[in-house]
């Protein structure tokens, strides 16, 4: 079953036994839970579009391992074209869902682990790459959604993993057995974890020899014994429990994050892809982060397309679309959005093959891409709020609009252009609220800051990749300086 349908994906999750806590209570049925379901719908779109002939070239690929047609989210990039199509695919899905569709983190993880395990084996004579490829074959054959799990709680940031007073601040091995290892710890901010079939654990920082028990990578079924999920709250999330759809802004789609607890979890050796090779932890982190920072040049741009469209509609409905300052703001929003896209495409076109043949993006440009993402969506959101007007945050609820006693007042006094129904105006303002302030802000505005690493994380990589010495030599040559 290399290509699951949307329906098969949803049913596959229904068979899983997640241990989830939401609002302090255990949730038995996550598939039909109104808080979780919109995020699941977003992932389901990655399956639905893969069966649409119109999007086949972007959504599917030919497996380099089997030659079969697979979902691109399960694919190892084999060329510059693959890297470019990835960015275009993510933009498409952002346009279709106006939210985080969650599956890119697993795609970025498999590409990083693939090349890193090969290089570990070359140095130490281990079999991690073979183990990983065997697992990857199962991922491709079953069309799994995978949660790429990197971020640990970290505790005291001034201390390394082995120096923490609480050793569980980083995922680590607590027992080695003949048939595998026992691990303990947690992964934070795990996007789409509850919509995933498997969880792929990676170290979160470069480590030294003293931290070798923390230098581990492995994969497990997402509902394995000992894995506990605590659902992350979002602004306006309880609106999903209300009747009606207008106040949600985006009633169909969403994203989610979870705190994932690993409470003495057993991992068989065949699913372990790094074990104490601390000297390769930095490589794995850097490559995963690079791939994921490239991703933001696609997904955030697609959601930005929707936000720009919503702002333009708000201007139409307000009767302000012909004002020169409104036109200029929409142009600026488009300029910023397309700049992000240009960075995503650029780091893809400048990529290179690794030792396995799997292509890696240009790390400098990928980090420049994400550095821009930490800034531009905030300005795009600000301009959208400016165009929308204050009614976006002061308007009454859908129940007020539909109330038989007062609804006609809402209808009368909150109308903009007379020919446009008041409900249309209110719905588009709720969508802008959702994208800039509400639950989707996690997948657009706020995630733009901290997703795939904070701004400082990108600046560190940029400083490493910038090659200032080579630039100095260029300047010396032009200035006629010889030494």
Tokens linked to 304: 């930005």
Q: How far apart are CA 183 and CA 123, in angstroms?
A: 25
Cα separation, 399 vs 168, whole angstroms: 47
Q: Is 188 a catalytic residue?
A: no
Asked if 483 is an active-site residue, the reply is no
CA distance 145 to 9: 9
**Per-residue pLDDT at 2 exceeds 90:** no
Sequence-separated (6 or more) residues with CB below 8 Å from residue 26: 19, 20
> To 5 degrees, how large is the angle CA 471–CA 477–CA 480?
140
Query: What pLDDT does 441 receive?
Result: 74
Domain 6-279 fold is Butyryl-CoA Dehydrogenase, subunit A; domain 2 (2.40.110)
Of 111, 102, 315, 382, residue with least CA distance to 222: 102
Cβ(241)–Cβ(35) under 8 Å? yes
Q: Is 296 in the active site?
A: yes
- Say how far apart CA 8 and CA 48 lie, in whole Å: 10
Binding residues for FAD: 191
User: Of 75, 77, 197, 292, which residue is the catalytic one?
Assistant: 292
- What are residue 190's DSSP bridge partners? 258
* For residues 450-474, average pLDDT: 94
Q: Of 292, 296, 302, 189, nearest to 253 (Cα)?
A: 302
Catalytic site includes residue 119: no
Percent of the chain clearing pLDDT 90 (strictly above): 97
Geometric angle at alpha carbon 115, from 110 and 121, rounded to 5°: 120
- Across the range 416-433, mean pLDDT stands at 98
Residue 409 pairs in a beta bridge with none
Catalytic residue among 46, 191, 374, 439: 191
Catalytic residue at 275? no
Six-digit token pair at 95?
A: 């346009």
Among this protein's residues, is 104 annotated catalytic?
A: yes
Say yes or no to pLDDT of 296 above 90: yes
Confidence of residue 240 (pLDDT cuts 50, 70, 90): very high
* Interval 235-256 mean pLDDT: 95
- pLDDT tens column, 363-394: 999 999 999 999 999 999 999 999 999 999 99
Catalytic residue among 277, 286, 433, 447: 447
Whole-Å CA distances, 222 to 20, 66, 172, 187, 479: 11, 25, 18, 13, 59
The better pLDDT of the pair 442, 408 is held by 408
Given a cut of 90, is residue 409 above it in pLDDT?
A: yes
Measured distance CA(272)–CA(346) in Å, rounded = 34
Active-site entry in 296, 341, 359, 444:
296
Q: Is 8 an active-site residue?
A: no
pTM above the 0.95 mark? yes
Residue of 257, 277, 286, 385 marked active site:
257
pLDDT at 319 over 80: yes
Q: Which residues contact 68 (CB under 8 A, 6 or more apart)?
A: 2, 62, 140
- Class of residue 407 by CB neighbours under 10 A (exposed 0-12, middle 13-18, buried 19+): middle
Which of 9, 60, 104, 433 is labelled catalytic?
Answer: 104
Q: Is the pLDDT of residue 280 over 70?
A: yes
- pLDDT score, position 1: 64
Binding site residue list? 191
pLDDT at 439: 78
- pLDDT given for residue 403 in this prediction: 98
| 100 annotated active-site | yes
Q: Which long-range contacts (CB under 8 A, 24 or more apart) does 379-382 make?
A: 379/332, 379/333, 379/336, 380/304, 380/307, 380/308, 380/333, 380/336, 380/337, 381/307, 381/435, 381/436, 381/444, 381/445
* Separation of alpha carbons 341 and 339, rounded Å: 5
Burial grade of 475 (CB within 10 A; 0-12, 13-18, 19 or more): exposed
Q: Return the CA Rg of the chain.
A: 24
CATH number assigned to the domain covering 283-472:
1.20.140.10
Q: Which of 48, 75, 100, 341 is catalytic?
A: 100
Mean pLDDT of the region 325-352: 98
Residues found in the chain: 483
Whether the pLDDT of residue 445 is over 90: the answer is no
d(CA 98, CA 105): 17
Catalytic residue among 172, 275, 299, 354: 299
What would the mean pLDDT of 453-474 be, rounded to a whole number?
95
CATH fold match for the domains 6-279 and 283-472: no
- The whole-angstrom distance between residue 9's C-alpha and the CA centroid of its chain comes to 19
Average pLDDT value over all residues in the chain:
97
Residue ranges per structural domain of the chain: 6-279, 283-472
Banded model confidence at residue 34, pLDDT cuts 50, 70, 90: very high
pLDDT the model gives residue 475: 97
How far is 199 from 203, CA to CA, in rounded Å? 13
Give mean pLDDT, residues 81-99. 98
CA–CA distance, 118 with 460 (Å, rounded to integer) = 26
């Amino acid at each position: 079953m290399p290509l699951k349908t949307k329906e098969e994906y949803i049913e596959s999750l229904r068979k899983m036994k997640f241990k989830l806590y939401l609002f302090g209570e255990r949730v038995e049925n996550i598939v039909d839970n109104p808080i979780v379901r919109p995020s699941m719908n977003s992932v389901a779109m990655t399956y639905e579009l893969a069966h649409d002939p119109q999007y086949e070239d972007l959504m599917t690929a030919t497996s380099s391992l089997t030659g079969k047609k697979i979902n691109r989210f399960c694919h190892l990039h084999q060329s510059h074209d693959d890297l470019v199509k990835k960015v275009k695919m993510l933009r498409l899905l952002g346009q279709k869902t106006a939210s985080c569709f969650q599956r890119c983190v697993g795609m970025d993880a498999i590409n990083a682990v693939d090349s890193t395990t090969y290089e570990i084996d070359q140095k130490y004579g281990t079999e991690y790459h073979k183990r990983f490829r065997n697992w990857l074959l199962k991922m491709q054959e079953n069309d799994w959604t995978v949660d790429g799990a990197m971020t640990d709680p970290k505790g005291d940031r001034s201390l390394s993993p082995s120096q923490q007073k609480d050793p569980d601040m980083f995922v680590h091995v607590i027992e080695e057995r003949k048939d595998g290892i026992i691990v303990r710890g947690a992964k934070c901010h795990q996007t789409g974890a509850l919509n995933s079939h498997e969880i792929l654990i990676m170290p979160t920082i470069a480590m030294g020899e003293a931290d070798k028990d923390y230098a581990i990578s492995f994969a497990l079924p997402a509902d394995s014994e000992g894995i506990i999920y605590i659902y992350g709250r979002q602004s306006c999330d309880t609106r999903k429990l209300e009747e009606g759809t207008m106040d949600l802004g985006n009633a169909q789609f969403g994203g989610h994050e979870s705190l994932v607890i690993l409470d003495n979890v057993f991992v068989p050796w065949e699913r372990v892809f790094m074990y104490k090779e601390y000297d390769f932890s930095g490589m794995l982190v850097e490559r995963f982060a690079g791939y994921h920072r490239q991703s933001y040049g696609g997904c955030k741009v697609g959601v930005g397309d929707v936000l720009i469209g919503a702002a333009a509609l708000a201007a139409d409905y307000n009767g302000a679309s012909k004002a020169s300052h409104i036109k200029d703001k929409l142009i600026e929003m488009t300029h910023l959005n397309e700049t992000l896209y240009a960075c995503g495409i650029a780091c893809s076109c400048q990529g290179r093959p690794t030792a396995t043949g799997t292509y890696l993006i240009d790390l400098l440009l990928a980090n420049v891409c994400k550095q821009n993402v930490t800034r531009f969506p905030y300005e795009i959101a600000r301009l959208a709020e400016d165009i929308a007007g204050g009614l976006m945050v002061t308007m009454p609820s859908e129940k007020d609009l539909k109330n038989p006693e007062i609804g006609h007042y809402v209808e009368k006094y909150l109308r903009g252009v007379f020919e446009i129904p008041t409900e249309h105006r209110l719905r588009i303002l709720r969508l802008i609220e959702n994208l800039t302030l509400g639950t989707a802000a996690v997948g657009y505005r706020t995630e733009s800051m901290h997703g795939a690493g904070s701004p400082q994380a990108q600046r560190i990589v940029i400083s490493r990749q910038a090659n200032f010495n080579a630039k100095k030599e260029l300047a010396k040559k032009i200035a006629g300086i010889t030494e």
